[in-house]
Structure formats: structure tokens, C-alpha cells
Structure 1
Amino acid sequence: MRFPVVLFDFDGTVVDSGPIILASMRHATQSVLGREISEQDLMASVGGPGLEAQMEVFAPDRVEELVRVYRAHNEPLHDTLETFQGIEDALAALKAQGHTLGLVTAKRRSTVDLAFAQLPIAHLFETVVGGDETELHKPDPEPLLLGLERLGASVDQAAYVGDSPYDMQAAKAGGLYAVGVTWGGIHTRAALGHADVIVDTAEELLAVL
């Protein structure tokens, strides 16, 4: 087995959450700041250093209010979440093959649980590292290394699968094999330049792991 342990990002990798993230980012910035911000700018740092850092870019003195309005809008939308085509089958296949799976995300753990309440996938992951469980965040490797520590695994045994440049940078910085996926709809293929390999489908993902 090439990679006994496979860690996954969540947004844009396992769940198709880009549309609800964009809707809530737009709602928060329009409601609090009263101005239009481009989709590219709103989504540029999704999956990276966390919601507070994302909002600080737009208004450093109004981060708390922006985050509060975002979450009030975003959390109910988790009822509409779906996984990407083929990803549930791919996760189940990896687990059946004997891989140990973990989830490492910028989302707070409580928000991950909202998604798990909608989607029957929680049982596939042996550990979940939420964005509120580490001091440092992607692109720093600390969250990934915490996931491996919880699983009793070393970096040379592990791959990290994600859709953002922050995912790829964190994986490479931590010594994990970096697998970029293109189906997220949040970041471009070009943004995955640090990846060891880039895949376009769940079937291709299985083949490289």
C-alpha cells in the first residue's frame, strides 16, 4: 500500500460547499460593509488561514461582526450540502482497502458536525482536525501533523488531498504527498502548482493512492 494514511481537506474536496461559502461571504460583506467585492477576492483565501483572517483582509476593524454575520447566514445552508460525484464511493473504497482516513479542515469542528448531520460520511474518518483545534493554520502544516499524531502515523506514510494552494503548501511543508483535486470550483488548477500530482476525478484519485 503506497499511502496507509490519507488525510482529506473538506470544503471543495469532499463537499461541494463553494456556493454556500460564496453566498455567505457576499452576504456578510454587503450587510456589514455595504459594498460589493468581487467573487475572486471573496474566495481567494478560502481553505487557508481561517475565517477571521479572511475577513481581516476586507475590514480589519470589523472582523468580529463580519464573522458573526457570515456564520449566522452560512450555518443553516449546511442542510443543502452534497458530496462531490464519486467521492463517497472513493472514501469507502479506500477504507475497504485498509487505508486510514482523516479529515483536516479550516472549518470549526462544530461546523463540520453540521455537515456530518446532513451527510452520512462521518464513520469513514478516524479523526477530524477542525480549524479551531490548532494555533497555526494552513498553509502551515500544524493541522496536518496533528492529524497524523492522533493516528499514530508518520509523514512518509501519508498523503493529503485538497483543492487549494494552502492545502498543497501545507502538505509539502509537512512532508506529506500532496494530491490536488480540480473539482472544487473554488480555486483554479494553476493554483495547485505545489502538488505532487493533480487529479480530475474520484477514479483518478483512487489510482494515485
Structure 2
Amino acid sequence: MRRSDASSSDGPPDAVLFDFDGTLADSIPHIRASFRHAVREVLGQEMADEVLLRNVGMPLAQQMRILVDDDELAERLLASYRAFNHATHDEMVRAFPGAHEVLATIRAAGASVGLVTSKSRPIAERGIRLLGMEDAFDVVVTADDVAAHKPDPTPVLHAIRVLGADPARSAYVGDSPADVASAKAAGVRAVAATWGVAPRDRLLEAGPDLVVDSLTEVPEALGFGTVERGSERVHG
């Protein structure tokens, strides 16, 4: 766990927002497999994982348009990705260990908990149900709910408004540079999660306020205390 000089908020926040893929959900292997399938099927080639995963955190259609500078190919990639992703979703997506306890610890301390994701609402809700998190969030913001997307601050600010929270008393936890940029632009504490999609150096370049190396460290890092898992205290 590392604090940066940019961190200026003391005490636990009143609202904590989380990204989904690579932060709460152990879904990066599924995303990687979906990209590989689409690129093989549509382009007949292989691409390095660094290229395929570089813009995870943005809406999928936008990622495809960045990947290939051709609207028709981007649409075909998107369709291929979604077909594979939806067919294999439930067998390949799992919650990270301690995810439920982390959310429960924060809510038990009296803070609001939200989800801000670039997934569409139907697939986000499918993931939430699969992970058994239907009652875990006070707000869920998806790509379908806002006109602008991460790294723009709009999704984070929308969640903050729904919760009636103060950005200066809020935090957003995410595993991509887009998550960090969105949080910083929204004026909330940007917490970089190193267990997800982006290498640590790319996260540090984005300038987070806090860097956390394990999901179960998040409550303690934000001032909520350690996570209780059964009778065992979890320190990450």
C-alpha cells in the first residue's frame, strides 16, 4: 500500500465507489479470452495482450474503435467479442477473494457503496447476480446511464450525485488508468488497484492518491479498519 503526495483527505470517506472488472470481479482472464477470440475470428491474427487490454476500463465499442481504425471491422470485432463473452461469462467470471467482506465492512461502517462500470447494464447486472452482490450497492452506474464515459468524470460524478455525497469525501477504487483519471477529474480520492488489468507503472503514471495491492486492504487503507472474514481478521 502506498500513499502519494496527492492524497489530501483524512479519515474514511462517506462514499466508496468500485469498478467491477479486475477490481471486484476476477474477470480479466475472461476479457482476455474474449478479445483473443474476436481478433482471431475477425482479423485472422494474434495481438499481444498488452495491446488487447490497454484500454480496458473504457466502453467496449470505444476499445474496438481504438484497436482498429475501421468502423466496419470494429463492429464485427464487437459482435464477435460479445458472442463469445456472453456464452462463456458464467463459467469464467468469479469474485476476487474477500470481495463480499470488503463491501460489507465499508457498509457496516456507515459509508455508501457504489459500482461504476463501463459495462452495459444488462451484462453488469448479470455479473452482479453471478457474484451474489445484488444487495451490495447503493447505486450502480453503467455505460447505459451516462453520455460520457471513463476517463471522463461523468460516471463517477453521476454516482456521487445519486448518493448525495460530497466528492471531497468520496473515493473510487479501480484497476485501470481510466479509472484513476475519472476519479481525479471528479475530485474524489483515486485508489489504484494493482491486482487487476493494468501494470503498476501505468497506474502510477496516472497519479492516484492511493495505491493498494490487495482488495482486502482497501477498507484499512481508507480508514475503515481491517476486514473480518469469519473469525479471522484479514489484512490483505
TM-score normalised to the size of structure 1?
Answer: 0.95
2:153 is the counterpart of 1:141: yes
Number of residue equivalences: 207
Residue aligned with 1:12, SS: coil
Letter in 1 for 2:121: R
* Residue of 189, 195, 199 corresponding to 2:212: 199
C-alpha distance in 2 between matches for 1:202 and 1:135:
29
C-alpha distance in 1 between matches for 2:33 and 2:115:
24
Task: Note if contact 1:129-1:146 (Cα within 8 Å) is conserved in structure 2.
Answer: yes
Structure 2 counterpart of 1:181 = 193
C-alpha distance in 2 between matches for 1:202 and 1:30:
33
* Residue of 4, 7, 12 corresponding to 1:2: 12
Matches within 5 A, 1:15-54: 15-48=25-58, 50-54=59-63
Structure 2 counterpart of 1:13 = 23
Structure 2 counterpart of 1:79 = 90
C-alpha distance in 1 between matches for 2:117 and 2:99:
16
Structure 1 counterpart of 2:107 = 95
Task: Note if contact 1:141-1:173 (Cα within 8 Å) is conserved in structure 2.
Answer: yes
Task: Note if contact 1:75-1:114 (Cα within 8 Å) is conserved in structure 2.
Answer: no
Structure 2 counterpart of 1:156 = 168
User: How many angstroms does 1:161 deviate by?
Assistant: 0.4
User: How many angstroms does 1:203 deviate by?
Assistant: 3.4
Residue aligned with 1:132, SS: helix
Letter in 2 for 1:189: R
User: How many angstroms does 1:132 deviate by?
Assistant: 2.1
User: How many angstroms does 1:117 deviate by?
Assistant: 2.4
Task: Note if contact 1:159-1:179 (Cα within 8 Å) is conserved in structure 2.
Answer: yes
Letter in 2 for 1:74: N
Identity among equivalent positions (%) equals: 42
Letter in 2 for 1:172: K
Residue aligned with 2:161, SS: helix
C-alpha distance in 2 between matches for 1:55 and 1:30:
14
User: How many angstroms does 1:76 deviate by?
Assistant: 2.5
Residue aligned with 1:149, SS: helix
TM-score normalised to the size of structure 2?
Answer: 0.84
2:120 is the counterpart of 1:108: yes
Task: Note if contact 1:78-1:118 (Cα within 8 Å) is conserved in structure 2.
Answer: no
**Structure 1: runs of 5+ lacking an equivalent:** none
Instruction: Tell me which structure has the larger Cα radius of gyration.
Output: 2
**Structure 2: runs of 5+ lacking an equivalent:** 1-10, 223-236
* Residue of 54, 70, 84 corresponding to 2:81: 70
Structure 1 counterpart of 2:226 = none
User: How many angstroms does 1:163 deviate by?
Assistant: 0.6
User: How many angstroms does 1:201 deviate by?
Assistant: 1.8
Task: Note if contact 2:23-2:215 (Cα within 8 Å) is conserved in structure 1.
Answer: no
2:176 is the counterpart of 1:167: no
What RMSD over aligned residues (CA atoms) do the two structures have, in Å?
1.2
User: How many angstroms does 1:34 deviate by?
Assistant: 1.1
CA deviation map 1:114-159 (0-9, x unaligned): 1122111121101111012211111110000011111111211210
